[in-house]
């Protein structure tokens, strides 16, 4: 064989290898995932990814991102068009309505439609968005888990103030005023505590989630279910003034730590866990969950999870729900592989395993999982959350219905 021919063959072989490399890289599914507050949930997701790899013979490149870092990472990826194949982020999901409108997400009705019957109606609402380019609504996200806002208090601190569980009022104004009286009695005993752990900061997402519940209690809505603004209605504007007065009066009365105007999402947890406040509201059941297996006396005996009080008019009110969804970016290099993984993840066995691994901090979106004793009755905190979900109406937050409301949430205008 001539020297020139050998060189030519070698060049051809090298070219073939390098030409194949991008294709091989594209076969590796890139997954960006929200780092959980509960390490066991991250481990559970890794297990699901490994099961999928074993089943398909494909490989996944999995990266976890801290809650506050993920949105900027995803926005930069959209700008560069170098995106993951699958993404899930709790804060990222707040902007899903915008992402769908801007034609950045893959329409996945072929994934979700065959299995829609598995999911609760409320969770499916958070998957349908308008695409501004096509002018049509479509399925752009897939539901993973959901949570409401829960109320927790320290039973032993309540008892130290001379009260029993049965003393907690069920009516709106007496309920909130009660914790100020608990504070007063504990202060008289020399305890440096506050009765309430309400969040008032710009930084924390807890602020707008708590404020929205006060709005619902007063039956005030700023947009309708079709996304139309109601702010031009004088009754709505007056209602907002009433809500603001009700929400802020506890801070003015000094029944809330003064630092609550600067709290981040974790700070109400920290203040409660350190017993600096008697009661707090918190999205998910992460507060009691942080003690499970570490201090079971706290978990089962001293920390209690409450039902919400009745509305100011004495009736019930709609509780707000955060439905957390993932998506496949439209610029994914592995669209069909991404769809295959999402189908695998949404199999009841896998998704229930992932949600359970949060120690009950999250609530399932699949109907079959709602029958699981783990969520229904096996635990006092999860049982209370179950009743909040199942016994009163609930609906997603406004950004699901109106993409313009995304700015209100991402800039936390309620906290300003």
pLDDT tens series, the chain, 416 aa: 544 434 343 334 334 333 333 333 457 999 999 999 888 999 999 999 999 999 999 999 999 999 889 999 999 999 999 999 999 998 888 889 999 999 999 999 999 999 999 999 889 999 999 999 999 999 999 999 998 899 999 999 999 999 999 999 999 999 999 999 999 999 999 999 999 999 999 888 899 899 999 999 999 988 776 767 888 899 999 999 999 999 999 999 999 999 999 999 899 999 999 999 999 999 889 899 889 889 999 999 999 999 999 999 999 888 888 899 999 999 999 999 999 999 999 999 999 999 999 888 899 999 999 889 888 877 899 988 888 888 888 887 766 766 666 655 555 555 45
Domain assignment of residue 407, yes or no: no
Domain shared by 141 and 14, yes or no: yes
pTM: 0.80
Task: Name 195's Cβ contacts closer than 8 Å, sequence gap at least 6.
Answer: 179, 180, 181, 182, 183, 184, 255, 256, 277, 278, 279
Range 5-32 burial, b when 16+ CB lie within 10 A, else e: eeeeeeeeeeeeeeeeeeeeeeeebbbb
Residue 237 lies in a domain: yes
If asked whether residues 81 and 210 sit together in one domain, one would say: no
Kindly state whether residues 24 and 92 are assigned to the same domain.
Answer: yes
**CA dist list (Å): 25 to 54, 55, 58, 76, 207:** 18, 19, 11, 21, 43
Please report, for the domain that includes residue 184, its CATH number.
3.40.190.10
Same-domain check for residues 74 and 34: yes
On whether both 154 and 141 belong to a single domain, the answer is no
Residues 121 and 190 grouped into a single domain:
no
Does some domain include residue 295?
no
Same domain, 170 and 96: no
How far, in Å, are 195, 285, 301, 311, 399 from residue 291 at the CA level?
A: 21, 11, 11, 31, 32
β-strands 86-88, 277-283 pairing: unpaired
Would you say 303 and 382 are in contact if contact means Cβ atoms under 8 Å apart? no
Question: Considering only CA atoms, which of 414, 326, 382 is closest in space to residue 147?
Answer: 382
Domain boundary among 260, 283, 306: 283
Write out the residue range of the structural domain in which residue 162 sits. Answer: 149-283
Q: How many domains does the chain have?
A: 2
């Amino acid at each position: 064989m001539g020297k020139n021919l050998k060189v030519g063959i070698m060049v051809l072989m090298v070219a073939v290898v390098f030409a194949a490399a991008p294709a091989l890289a594209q076969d590796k599914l890139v997954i960006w995932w929200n780092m959980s507050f509960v390490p066991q949930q991250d481990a559970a997701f890794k297990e699901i990814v490994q099961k999928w790899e074993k089943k398909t013979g494909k490989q996944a490149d999995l990266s976890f991102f801290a809650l506050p870092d993920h949105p900027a990472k995803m926005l930069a990826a959209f700008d560069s068009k170098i995106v993951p194949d699958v993404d899930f982020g709790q804060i990222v999901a707040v902007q899903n309505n915008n992402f769908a409108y801007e034609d950045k997400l893959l329409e996945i009705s072929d994934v979700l439609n065959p299995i829609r019957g598995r999911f609760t109606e409320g969770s499916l609402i958070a998957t349908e968005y308008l695409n501004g380019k096509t002018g049509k609504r479509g399925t752009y996200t897939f539901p993973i888990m959901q949570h409401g806002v829960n109320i927790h208090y320290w039973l032993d601190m309540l008892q130290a103030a001379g009260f029993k569980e049965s003393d907690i009022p069920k009516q709106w104004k007496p309920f909130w005023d009660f914790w100020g009286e608990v504070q007063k009695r504990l202060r008289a005993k020399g305890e440096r505590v506050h009765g309430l752990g309400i969040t008032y900061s710009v930084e924390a997402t807890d602020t707008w989630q708590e404020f929205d519940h006060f709005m619902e209690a007063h039956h005030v809505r700023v947009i309708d279910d079709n996304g139309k603004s109601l702010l031009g209605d004088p009754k709505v504007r007056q209602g907002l003034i009433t809500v603001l007065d009700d929400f802020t009066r506890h801070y003015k009365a000094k029944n809330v730590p003064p630092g609550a105007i600067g709290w981040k999402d974790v700070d109400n947890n920290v203040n409660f866990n350190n017993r600096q406040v008697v009661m707090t509201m918190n999205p998910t059941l992460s507060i009691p969950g942080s003690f499970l297996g570490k201090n079971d006396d706290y978990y089962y005996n001293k920390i209690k999870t409450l039902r919400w009080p009745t509305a100011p008019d004495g009736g019930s009110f709609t509780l707000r729900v955060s439905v957390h969804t993932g998506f496949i970016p439209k610029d994914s290099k592995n669209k069909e592989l991404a769809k295959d993984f999402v189908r695998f993840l949404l199999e009841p066995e896998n998704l229930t395993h992932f949600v359970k691994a949060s120690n009950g901090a999250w609530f399932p979106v699949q109907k079959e999982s709602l029958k699981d004793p783990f969520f229904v009755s096996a635990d006092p905190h999860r049982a209370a959350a179950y009743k909040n979900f199942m016994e009163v109406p609930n609906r997603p937050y406004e950004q699901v219905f109106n993409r313009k409301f995304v700015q209100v949430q991402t800039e936390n205008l309620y906290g300003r």
